[in-house]
Amino acid sequence: MGVAALSATTDEMNDDSTEMTAVLRRRLSEHSLWAFALALYARPGVEAACLALQDEAGVDVCELLWRCWLLQHGARPGPAAEAGVAEVRRWQAEVTAPLRTLRRRLKPEAASDAGVAALRETLKRAELEAERETLTRLERLVLTGENRLSPATGISTEKVLESALLLQKKIHLSTLQTLIASLDPPPTPR
């Protein structure tokens, strides 16, 4: 999605930032982050791209999906939302990441032990619930309060994501392109 596509999503907004924020919030409220994340993750190549960025570049997949969701609707996080991301990252580091580590650690043993396999499935469900909570927290960052949303005009999706996720290696940028190519064009103005 390029600059022209993002600019087209703001046609219904005027220069009043309060009105822009209201339009962006309405769009986001109509399309939950959870539903968007599930749909995008299920598209061909997206899961592999997300996991590669997670494992090789340290990208938080939930944050990546959140940023894609915002960009999909012509928005990006405002300063107050960006400030709140640190708390969500703490949650991910303290809750989600340990569950993922345990689940992955048990994979070899689960192949030959039914009890360990059942425990691993429980951890997998807990990890998914922790990720859902993460997405809820990220969604809340932009749907409530002041200075939480900015229109995403004049900059490409790729540049926004590269900058926010601190991606620099060519292989990671290429992987990011796979994900970006899977995004739908933004909705047409109403």
pLDDT recorded at residue 15: 44
**Predicted pLDDT at 9:** 43
**pLDDT of the residue at 161:** 82
Q: Can you list the residues of the chain whose pLDDT is less than 50?
A: 1-15, 189-190
- The residues spanned by each domain of the chain are 3-181
What local confidence, expressed as pLDDT, does residue 115 receive?
Answer: 98
pLDDT at 12: 45
Contact 177, 151 (CB under 8 A): no
pLDDT of 185: 67
The pLDDT score that the predictor gives to residue 69 is: 94
Contact predicate 65/135, CB 8 Å: yes
